[in-house]
Amino acid sequence: MQRKSNLAENILTTPKELWERTSEVLKETINPRSYQTWFAPIQPLDLTDSTIILGVPNKFFQEWIDNHYTKILKNALIQTSGYSLSVQFKVLDNKPFSAYTDNIINDIEIKHTPASDRDFSSSNLNSNYTFDNFIIGDGNKFAQAAAWAVSESPGNTNYNPLIIYGGTGLGKTHLIQAIGNNVLRRSNNLKVYYTSSESFTSHFITSIQQNNVIEFSNFYRSCDLLMIDDIQFFSNKGKTQEEFFHTFNALHQNKKQIVLTSDRPVNELSFLEERLISRFKWGLVADIQPPDLETRIAILQSKCEENNLQIPNDIIDYLAVNLTHNIRELEGALTRLMAQVLLTHTEPTLELAQKVVTEIGQPISKGITIDQIIQLTSKAFDVPQESFMKKSRTKDIAFARQVAMYLSKELSKFSTTTIGLHFGGRDHSTVIYAHKVIEGQIKIDAILRNKIEEIKRMLQYSR
Ligand code: ADP
Ligand code: MG
């Protein structure tokens, strides 16, 4: 009871006022989308004893907040009331859950608003793409280091132009926009502009049609940092390339920074004029390779953190092991997984993750033969192919054989009986056992995981 009078005296506030102040703190703590989804619908109901009672739209909200925001909410309340209040929820109305699902899916959707193309008053940058949330791994560390150097000293490094190339969904756009964002963060009076080669082309064409090519040229040539994404889509029309050539020269001469991306090496951009390609060679070309397993796990973990998602490690591992193509695909899997979880009010399970992976449909399993698997596994483990069929029980051979059986069960369309036959007529139960052993081992042995990952990758390329 002492508490109660303390509260009454010291907080001296209505539940509404307290909640308003707390909301301000929450807004500063979590991202706006999450705030909007989870906290905006809350209504403060009562403040009794050492408890604040909050009205939530339904039970699901209560659980989600309990699971994801308890600490944040408690801390915010301590800040605004001075007390460690307990929180009680009360379900307010029975609006159907579907009334909130759009918001919820938007909140967990890890998406970025596409940069608008025609807005000359802004830099066209998406502030979500930063160096802070770019996970570094072996495949991208060189490109990241070059990008960082350029962003710290645009126009004053030897990396002009900086050209980043790599396959789709590997982080090229993220990285060059991070350059732009960092340059602006350091000095926001620099003129920074991001565009795609297609937009550049279409601006140019419009400017011809509207008779304002001079304005067009002046604009691009006044940039301190010009980023052009996806130069593989540059028009092969001579005039656009000529205009770009002059822009390039003007910027380069004035020590202004140019950053470009491409989905293939520069000398494979055969439609580009020779003089442009030779200019590109003045600077630095850095490639991005697909992320290895560890990096994929780190990326998933960081996306979860960014979006306040709690996903068990084995599910993260499962997604990372099975989605190897690119990072966009990994993000897509997380989004789908969470949407399913929210809509079905269940915890994320491995089964659900499997479903999502199948939906995303990395078509690795189609057409892979057991012979291909045996061939690659024998190489990877340095064990002769014939020994997979023989009775040999040496430890190394037996283990490699188990790995090949595991991969066959995972990746080929064949039944365990058929798989057994390919391994010197072994029983299907041996295949099932091998699968189980390796499955368990992968979880604890990172080296093995990487090795298997590598075999999977090679199987994809050999198709
Ligand atoms: P690209 O331009 O090469 O096709 P993007 O830059 O659009 O690829 O990347 C695809 C998605 O993956 C983006 O949402 C991006 O934020 C994310 N992403 C790519 N690389 C990384 C990384 N190293 N760390 C964190 N997120 C990444
Ligand atoms: Mg891109």
Nearest CA to ligand 1 atom 25: 134
Q: What ligand 1 atom has the least distance to the C-alpha of 166?
A: 3
Residue-wise pLDDT for 114-166, tens only, equals 333 333 357 889 888 999 999 999 999 999 999 999 999 999 999 999 999 99
Positions of E strands within 203-294: 225-229, 257-262, 284-288
Dist CA 253 CA 274 (whole Å): 19
Domain ranges (residues) in the chain = 15-110, 117-288, 308-360, 370-462
Q: What is the per-residue pLDDT for 95? A: 58
Nearest Cα to Cα of residue 87 among 100, 97, 96, 77 = 77
pLDDT bucket at 462, cuts 50 / 70 / 90 = low
344 vs 366 pLDDT, higher one? 344
Within this chain, domains 15-110 and 370-462 share the same CATH topology:
no
Around Cβ 105, how many Cβ atoms within 10 Å? Answer: 16
Nearest Cα to Cα of residue 257 among 340, 191, 186, 311 = 191
pLDDT bucket at 309, cuts 50 / 70 / 90 = confident
3-class state of residue 115 by DSSP:
coil
pLDDT bucket at 316, cuts 50 / 70 / 90 = very high
Q: What ligand 1 atom has the least distance to the C-alpha of 302?
A: 25
Nearest CA to ligand 1 atom 14: 328
pTM of the model: 0.60
3-class state of residue 195 by DSSP:
strand
Q: How far is the CA of 213 from the centre of ligand 2 (A)?
A: 27
Report the chain's mean pLDDT, rounded to a whole number: 85
Q: Which ligand is nearest to the CA of 175?
A: 1
Probe target for ligand 1 pocket from 174, 181, 196, 323, with the most ligand atoms within 8 Å of CB = 174
Q: How far is the CA of 230 from the centre of ligand 2 (A)?
A: 7
Q: What is the per-residue pLDDT for 264? A: 86
Q: How far is the CA of 457 from the centre of ligand 2 (A)?
A: 22
DSSP calls for 126-145: -TT--STT----TTTHHHHH
Q: What ligand 1 atom has the least distance to the C-alpha of 175?
A: 6
Q: Does domain 117-288 have CATH number 3.40.50.300?
A: yes
Q: How far is the CA of 380 from the centre of ligand 1 (A)?
A: 30
**Percent helix, strand and coil across the chain, each to the nearest 5:** 60, 10, 30
- Using the predicted structure, report yes or no on whether residue 387 has a pLDDT greater than 70: yes
Dist CA 455 CA 6 (whole Å): 66
pLDDT bucket at 103, cuts 50 / 70 / 90 = low
- Second-level CATH architecture of 370-462: Orthogonal Bundle (1.10)
Residues in Cβ contact with 219 at an 8 Å cutoff, skipping those fewer than 6 apart:
120
DSSP calls for 75-97: HHHHHHHSS--EEEEEE-----T
Q: Which ligand is nearest to the CA of 231?
A: 2
Q: What is the per-residue pLDDT for 99? A: 59
Class for domain 15-110, per CATH?
alpha beta
Q: How far is the CA of 356 from the centre of ligand 1 (A)?
A: 20
Strands 162-166 and 284-288: parallel
Q: What ligand 1 atom has the least distance to the C-alpha of 110?
A: 14
Q: What is the per-residue pLDDT for 54? A: 92
Nearest Cα to Cα of residue 64 among 126, 16, 13, 107 = 107
Contact 340, 350 (CB under 8 A): no
Q: What ligand 1 atom has the least distance to the C-alpha of 128?
A: 16
Q: How far is the CA of 133 from the centre of ligand 1 (A)?
A: 10
Rg for the chain, CA atoms, rounded: 28
Bridge partners (DSSP) of residue 48 are: 51
Q: What is the per-residue pLDDT for 186? A: 92
For the chain, what percent of residues have pLDDT higher than 70? Answer: 88
Q: What ligand 1 atom has the least distance to the C-alpha of 330?
A: 12
Least confident of 7-21, 142-156, 247-261, 316-330: 7-21
Around Cβ 294, how many Cβ atoms within 10 Å? Answer: 16
CA distances from 423 to 362, 393, 405, 415, 442 (A): 27, 13, 8, 13, 21
Residues in Cβ contact with 118 at an 8 Å cutoff, skipping those fewer than 6 apart:
199, 203
**Length reported for the chain:** 463
Average pLDDT over residues 81-106: 70
Q: What is the per-residue pLDDT for 98? A: 53
Q: Running DSSP on this structure, what letter comes out for residue 160?
A: S
Residue-wise pLDDT for 415-458, tens only, equals 888 888 889 889 999 999 999 999 999 888 888 988 898 888 77
Which ranges in 153-229 belong to alpha helices (H)?
A: 172-186, 197-209, 213-221
Residue-wise pLDDT for 226-246, tens only, equals 999 999 888 777 888 999 999
Q: What is the per-residue pLDDT for 236? A: 75
- Sheet containing strand 192-196, edge to edge, reads 192-196, 225-229, 257-262, 162-166, 284-288
pLDDT bucket at 110, cuts 50 / 70 / 90 = very low
Pocket of ligand 1 (CB under 6 A): 112, 133-135, 140, 166, 168-174, 299, 327-328, 331
For the chain, what percent of residues have pLDDT higher than 90? Answer: 42
pLDDT bucket at 104, cuts 50 / 70 / 90 = low
- Extract the tokens encoding 156: 């004053």
DSSP calls for 318-359: HHHHH--S-HHHHHHHHHHHHHHHHHHT----HHHHHHHHHH
- Using the predicted structure, report yes or no on whether residue 377 has a pLDDT greater than 80: yes
- Using the predicted structure, report yes or no on whether residue 284 has a pLDDT greater than 90: yes
- Using the predicted structure, report yes or no on whether residue 112 has a pLDDT greater than 80: no
Nearest CA to ligand 1 atom 9: 171
Q: Which amino acid is at 311?
A: I
Q: What ligand 1 atom has the least distance to the C-alpha of 129?
A: 16
Q: What is the per-residue pLDDT for 403? A: 96
Probe target for ligand 1 pocket from 127, 168, 328, 331, with the most ligand atoms within 8 Å of CB = 328
pLDDT bucket at 100, cuts 50 / 70 / 90 = low
